[in-house]
Amino acid sequence: MAGRNESLDAIKTRRNNTLNALVSSVPYIRWLGITFDRRGDELTAVLPFDQKLIGNPMLPAIHGGVTAAFLEVTAIVELTWTAIWEDMEQGRIAPDAAVPESLPRLPKTIDFTVDYLRSGLPRDAYARARVVRSGRRYASVHVEAWQDQRQKLFAQATGHFLMPQDG
Amino acid sequence: MSEASPEDELEQRRRIARQFIEVIPHARALGMHLDQLTGEGAEISLPWREDLVGDPRSGVIHGGVISALMDTCSGAAVMAHPTGARSTATIDLRIDYMRAATPGQTIRAKASCYHITRSVAFVRAWAMDDDEARPVASATGAFTVER
C-alpha cells in the first residue's frame, strides 16, 4: 500500500473516498452545504452562499453563528483528516458513510474563539485550518476564513479539542 | 418622542429586538424560538433535529448550532438593552463546551448584556438542555453597538 508504484487512480480514489465518507456522514455539514477541495493532504473548506445563511437581511451579511460553525467544521475535519492520514495511506482504515462503525471517531470541541474581522458578504466563503499542536489527548487548531481575497480574512478562530481515545 | 413613557419605550425596544430575531433567515432556518426578552436579557430555544447532528455515532447536535444559538441570543440581549442599540454585530465570541447536549432534547440559551459602553456591549450566555443544573455550554462575547 502507498508504495511508489501504486497507481495514481488507486491513491486518489482512496483519499477522495475517505474524505467523502468523513464529510458526508455528518448531517450538519450537509445541511450547511459545506464541501472540501483537496490538493494532496491540503484541504480547503467551501461554503456556497445560500439565503438561509443570512444573519442580517438589511446589509445583507452572513450570520455570525454560520461563520463560527463553518470555522469549527473546518477545524474538526482538518484535525480528523490529519489524525487518520497515516492509517488511511497504509490501508488500515477505509471509512464508509454507510457503515457507521467504519467512521473515525471525531475530536470533541473544548472551547472555540472566533474573531470577526469584517462582515461576511452574501457570496461563497473559504476556510483552511492549521493544526498548531496535536498531542495524544489535546489539540490546538487555528482557522482562517476569507471570501474574495485570500489576504483579506473575514474571520479567524482558535479552538482546543479533546482527541478521541482508542478502545 | 418626548411624550413616550419609559414603559412605552421599553415595549418599543422589545418589539425592535423581537423583529430583529424574526427576520433573521438563519435563525428561522435553524428553528429558533424567542421565549423571553426583557431589558435584563434574552432566552431563545432550539429543538433537536436530525439534520443538525454533528456526530453521527452519538446523535449529538453540532457545536456550530450551539454557536449560532448563543450568537443570536447574545445579539438579542444587546438589542433589548435599555440604552438602545439600532443594530449590532459580533466582534468576538468564545464558547466553552462543558458537555455534549443530550440527543433529542431542546436546547435553551440565556444571554445577558452585563456591561455596555457607547460602542461596545459585553455579553455572557449559557446553553442548557433538560438538565438545567448542568449547562451544556457557556459563552462570552463582545458586540458592536450601532447608535
Averaged over successive runs of 10 residues, the pLDDT of chain B (147 residues) comes to 64 70 88 90 95 92 95 93 88 96 97 96 97 97 94
Does pLDDT of A68 surpass 50?
yes
CATH number at residue A113: 3.10.129.10
Residue range A154-166: average pLDDT? 94
Question: What is the secondary structure of chain A as a DSSP string?
Answer: ---TTS-HHHHHHHHHHHHHHHHHT-HHHHHHT-EEEEETTEEEEEE---GGGEEETTTTEE-HHHHHHHHHHHHHHHHHHHHHHHHHHTTS---BTTBGGGSPPPPEEEEEEEEE-SPPPSS-EEEEEEEEEE-SSEEEEEEEEESS-TTSEEEEEEEEEEPPPP-
Predicted pLDDT of residue A2: 58
User: If you count them, how many residues does chain B have?
Assistant: 147
Predicted pLDDT of residue B4: 60
Predicted pLDDT of residue B128: 97
Predicted pLDDT of residue A167: 45
Enumerate the residues of chain A whose CB falls inside 8 A of the CB of residue B25.
Answer: 51-55, 57
Q: Is the peptide bond before A57 cis (omega within 30 degrees of 0)?
A: no
Predicted pLDDT of residue B13: 66
Predicted pLDDT of residue A100: 81
Question: A127 in a domain, yes or no?
Answer: yes
B97: distance to nearest CA of chain A, Å?
5
Nearest to B65 among A25, A69, A116 (CB): A69
B54: distance to nearest CA of chain A, Å?
6
**Interface list for chain B against chain A, based on CB atoms closer than 8 Å:** 23-29, 50-57, 61-65, 67-72, 75, 87, 89-97, 100
CA of residue B60 relative to chain centroid, distance: 20
Nearest to B53 among A27, A53, A65 (CB): A27
Residues A65, B71: C-beta atoms closer than 8 Å = yes
User: Mind listing the pLDDT tens digit for each residue in A19-47?
Assistant: 999 999 999 999 999 999 999 999 999 99
Nearest Cα residue to A108 out of B55, B50, B49, B41: B55
Question: A120 in a domain, yes or no?
Answer: yes
Predicted pLDDT of residue B1: 45
- The count of structural domains within chain A is 1
Residues A68, B95: C-beta atoms closer than 8 Å = yes
Burial class (CB in 10 A: 0-12, 13-18, 19+), A40: exposed
* Cβ neighbours around A149 below 10 Å, total: 8
Question: A2 in a domain, yes or no?
Answer: no
Predicted pLDDT of residue B31: 93
B131: distance to nearest CA of chain A, Å?
20
What is the residue range of A16's domain? Answer: 8-162
The residue with cell 483537496 is A38
Predicted pLDDT of residue A99: 86
Instruction: Report the C-alpha gap between B8 and A150 in whole angstroms.
Output: 48
B127: distance to nearest CA of chain A, Å?
14
Enumerate the residues of chain B whose CB falls inside 8 A of the CB of residue A103.
Answer: 56-57
Residues B51, A31: C-beta atoms closer than 8 Å = yes
Instruction: Report the C-alpha gap between A60 and A62 in whole angstroms.
Output: 7
Q: Which amino acid is at A73?
A: V
What ranges do the domains of chain B cover? Answer: 6-144
Residues B55, A51: C-beta atoms closer than 8 Å = no
Topology annotation, domain B6-144: Thiol Ester Dehydrase; Chain A (3.10.129)
All cell numbers assigned to A96: 464508509
Enumerate the residues of chain A whose CB falls inside 8 A of the CB of residue B64.
Answer: 28, 32, 65-66, 68-70, 72-73
User: Mind listing the pLDDT tens digit for each residue in A81-124?
Assistant: 999 999 999 999 999 988 888 889 999 999 999 999 999 999 99
Query: How far does chain A reach from its first CA to its final CA, in angstroms?
Result: 25
